[in-house]
């Protein structure tokens, strides 16, 4: 029903909307309860169906795309939970990216916001130097107590900053070696995405990923000089940048190995990279290559769930890993809704001896992190997290496991605010510790 990836015409308001895609929705409403903003407000306007209704009304010239409209579009976390339950297969995430992108082009934000976005999207994210500089700034701020001082001035955003993680020591922030060689008999080789924020704040996760993959007999290749996949740009309507970063990613990865599977340990990046084919569909040079690239992308948990990997992994896992149970798995939206990966992480956790796993209510609902949403809309973000914290407390879990840097950070903030004592780990860290326990 939908026309793949056609570009909006910048002057008419009907071109704000991917109208063809909006027609897939027949208004049944089954998406309502999955939507974090509908849960929060009870307002149908702030539900997937409502937002599509608004888009359609704008496209059909029955509604002005005013500030209220833009606000409703920005309020969405693009968690894509609605896509998981939509019987009509409405591609909500794609529609929202389209609308946001058109809005940016037609109604550019004010100069200050534009500058902030320019710094964030052009200077920091795609540049290793920019990221390091930002982290250095954060570290400096933490060391000197500037954040603490600035927090009251920044209001709620400040209170979020107060809970920013300690910038990890340099040793954790070192990049992966070009090759982490397979342990034991070599089965295959894979590429890994190190990502933008991951090496700076969660470098230990990347190292755990490399160690565990290599332990199951894989040569793990990193991609030098690659920084950003462009997911955050796309989610926030910076489509031109997103497209350019996608092309760069494809070039750099293919230069290392044009056929190996690409293992991603950050759900948001994985979901986005899988869709490079759609993103670059109108680029004659890249369309086919991007589709093939997308098909090679696998989540870390998928890679280890392949029968050969599981067979090698299982005997390596030992009790005595020091992780306090029971644990619970929180589905990153872009893993379960964006990539349909639900069972694999749970099954992997269940392989670990001496670790009880409990299901948390609504594990597949959004934690409110949603890329940079938590920075742009801290109050809404924390409101979305609030019921999740209750579910976590009710589950009785002593450790929370997830697989996305944004979610990881969001949980740390929320758990910190509640004064709970629940460490947050990436799936790879759990497996890595269980392997180390046997060494």
Partner 1 sequence: MPSLNRAQLRELTRIVGDRGVRSDAGARSAYESDGFMLERATPEVVVLPRTTEEAAAAVRILRDAGLVIVPRGAGTGLSGGARPIAGGAILGTARMRDVLEVNETDRYARVQAGVVNVHLTSACASAGLFYAPDPSSQTACTIGGNVGNNSGGPHGFRYGSTTRHVLGLTLVDSEGEITRIGGPFPDPRFGYDLLGPLVGSEGMLGLVTEVTVRLLPQPRCVETLLCLFEDLDACCDAVSEMIARRLEPSAIEILDRLTIEAVEASVLRAGYPSNAEAVLLIEVDGGADEVASTSEDLIAVATEFGAFDSRRTTDPVERKKLWTGRKGAFGAMGRIAPDLYVADVVAPRTRLREIVRVAAAACEERGLRLANVFHAGDGNLHPNISYDRRNADEVRRVLEAGEIIMQACVDAGGSLTGEHGVGVEKQKEMCMFFNDEDLDAMKALKSAFDPVGFWNPGKMIPVRGCREIHTKPLGDSVGVTP
Residue ranges that bind partner 1, judged by CB under 8 A = 1, 23-33, 38, 41-45, 47, 49-50, 53-54, 57, 62-64, 66, 68-69, 72, 83-90
Q: What is the per-residue burial (b if ≥16 Cβ within 10 Å, else e) of 63-85?
A: bebeeebbebbbbbbbbbbbbbe
The least distance separating partner 1 from the CB of residue 82, rounded to whole angstroms, comes to 11
Closest CB to partner 1 among residues 44, 257: 44
Termini Cα distance of the chain? 55
- Phi, psi (degrees; rounded to nearest 5) at 190: -135, 155
The two structure tokens encoding residue 150: 């600035």
- CB nearer to partner 1: pick between 47 and 409: 47
Q: Which is nearer to partner 1, 78 or 134 (CB)?
A: 78
Q: Compare residues 40 and 256 and give the one whose CB is closer to partner 1.
A: 40
**Shortest Cβ 77–partner 1 spacing (Å):** 17
Q: Which residue, 27 or 114, has its beta carbon nearer to partner 1?
A: 27
Q: How far is the CB of 147 from partner 1 (least distance, A)?
A: 30
The residue with tokens 């031109």 is 240
Q: Which is nearer to partner 1, 28 or 140 (CB)?
A: 28
Q: How far is the CB of 85 from partner 1 (least distance, A)?
A: 7
- The Cα–Cα gap between 150 and 53 comes to 41
CA distance 66 to 167: 40
Cβ count near 113 (within 10 Å): 11
Minimum distance from CB of 76 to partner 1 (Å)?
Answer: 13
Rounded Cα gap, residues 52 and 264, in angstroms: 31
Q: Which of 316, 339, 326, 313 is nearest to 403 (CA)?
A: 339
Going by the DSSP 8-state scheme, the letter that residue 76 receives in this structure is -
Residue 422 CB, nearest distance to partner 1 (Å)? 23
Please say which residue, 65 or 120, places its beta carbon nearer to partner 1: 65
Minimum CB separation of residue 337 from partner 1 in Å reads: 10
Burial label, 45 (beta-carbon count in 10 A; 0-12, 13-18, 19+): middle
| CB 382, CB 158: distance < 8 Å | no
């Amino acid at each position: 029903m939908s026309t793949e990836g056609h570009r909006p015409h910048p002057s008419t308001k009907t071109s704000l909307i991917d109208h063809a895609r909006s027609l897939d929705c027949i208004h049944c409403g089954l998406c309502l309860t999955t939507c974090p903003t509908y849960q929060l407000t009870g307002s149908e306007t702030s539900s997937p169906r409502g937002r599509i209704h608004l888009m359609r009304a704008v496209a059909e010239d029955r509604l002005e795309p005013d500030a209220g409209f833009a606000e409703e579009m920005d309020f969405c976390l693009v968690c894509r939970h609605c896509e998981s339950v939509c019987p009509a297969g409405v591609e909500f995430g794609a529609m929202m990216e389209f609308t946001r992108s058109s809005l940016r082009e037609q109604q550019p934000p004010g100069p200050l916001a534009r500058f902030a976005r320019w710094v964030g999207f052009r200077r920091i994210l795609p540049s290793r130097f920019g990221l390091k500089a930002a982290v250095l700034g954060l570290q400096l701020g933490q060391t000197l107590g500037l954040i603490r001082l600035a927090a009251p001035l920044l209001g709620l955003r400040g209170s979020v900053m107060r809970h920013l993680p300690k910038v990890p020591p340099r040793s954790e922030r070192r990049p992966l070696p070009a090759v982490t060689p397979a342990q034991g008999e070599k089965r295959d080789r894979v590429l890994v995405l190190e990502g933008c924020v991951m090496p700076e704040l969660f470098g230990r996760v990347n190292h755990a990923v490399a160690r565990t993959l290599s332990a199951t007999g894989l040569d793990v290749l990193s991609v030098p000089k690659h920084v950003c996949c462009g997911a955050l740009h796309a989610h926030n309507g910076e489509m031109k940048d997103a497209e350019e970063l996608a092309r760069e990613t494809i070039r750099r990865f293919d230069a290392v190995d044009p056929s190996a599977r690409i293992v991603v340990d950050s759900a948001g990046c994985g979901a986005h990279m899988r869709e490079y084919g759609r993103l670059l569909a109108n680029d004659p040079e890249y369309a086919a290559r991007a589709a093939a690239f997308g098909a090679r992308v696998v989540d870390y948990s998928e890679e280890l769930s392949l029968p050969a990997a599981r067979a090698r992994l299982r005997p390596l896992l030992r009790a005595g890993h020091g992780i306090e149970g029971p644990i619970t798995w929180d589905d990153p939206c872009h893993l379960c809704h964006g990539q349909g990966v639900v069972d694999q992480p749970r099954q992997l956790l269940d392989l670990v001896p001496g670790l009880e796993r409990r299901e948390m209510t609504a594990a597949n609902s959004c934690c409110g992190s949603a890329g940079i949403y938590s920075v742009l809309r801290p109050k809404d973000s924390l409101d979305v997290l609030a019921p999740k914290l209750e579910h976590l407390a009710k589950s009785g879990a002593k450790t929370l496991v997830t697989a996305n840097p944004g979610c990881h950070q969001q949980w740390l903030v929320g758990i910190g605010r509640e004064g709970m004592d629940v460490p947050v780990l990436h799936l790879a860290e759990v497996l890595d510790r269980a392997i180390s326990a046997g060494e």
